[in-house]
């Protein structure tokens, strides 16, 4: 999913180094691709394909990086390089006023008869 040029642009911003003990950064690229896959497809974490590893481990690491501000650092570093070739808007956050569809407004007129009885037109 990430080509080598894209990976080189963000690799130095990620926690750990391949030489660190425990292999902390051994699978950073696979992990970032798992997060990008989930963001692009919009699937729940539980539906993450097994080629990306255990879904729960990926989610926990994603949440940890969010807490540490890793994603913010990546966004800040890449913000000036956006080409805006593609732009996605999630329709679940786009709201429209109830009258924005252009349908005629339905009104009810209530009038009273001289006897005081209400009549709906």
| Cβ neighbours around 62 below 10 Å, total | 18
Distance from C-alpha of 1 to C-alpha of 78, rounded to nearest angstrom: 17
CA contacts within 13 A on the Cβ side of 48:
21
Burial classification of residue 58, based on how many CB atoms lie within 10 Å of its CB (0-12 exposed, 13-18 middle, 19 or more buried): buried
Q: What is the per-residue pLDDT across 13-62, written as a single tens digit (0 to 9) for each? A: 888 766 656 556 668 889 999 999 999 888 899 999 999 989 999 999 99
Phi/psi at 112 (5° precision): -115, 145
**For residue 104, is pLDDT > 60?**
yes
- What's residue 34's pLDDT? 93
**Closest among 43, 38, 84, 42 to 61, alpha carbons compared:** 38
- What's residue 58's pLDDT? 92
């Amino acid at each position: 999913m990430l080509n080598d040029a894209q990976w080189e642009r963000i690799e130095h911003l990620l926690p750990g180094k391949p030489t660190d003990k425990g292999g902390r950064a051994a699978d950073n690229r696979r992990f970032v691709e798992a997060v990008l896959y989930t963001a692009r497809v919009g699937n729940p974490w539980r539906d993450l394909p097994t080629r990306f590893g255990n879904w729960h481990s990926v989610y926990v690491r994603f949440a940890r990086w969010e807490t540490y501000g890793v994603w913010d650092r990546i966004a800040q570093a890449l913000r000036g390089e956006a080409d805006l070739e593609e732009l996605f808007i999630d329709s679940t956050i786009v709201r429209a006023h109830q009258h924005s569809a252009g349908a005629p407004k339905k009104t009810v007129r209530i009038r009273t008869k001289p006897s005081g009885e209400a009549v709906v037109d």
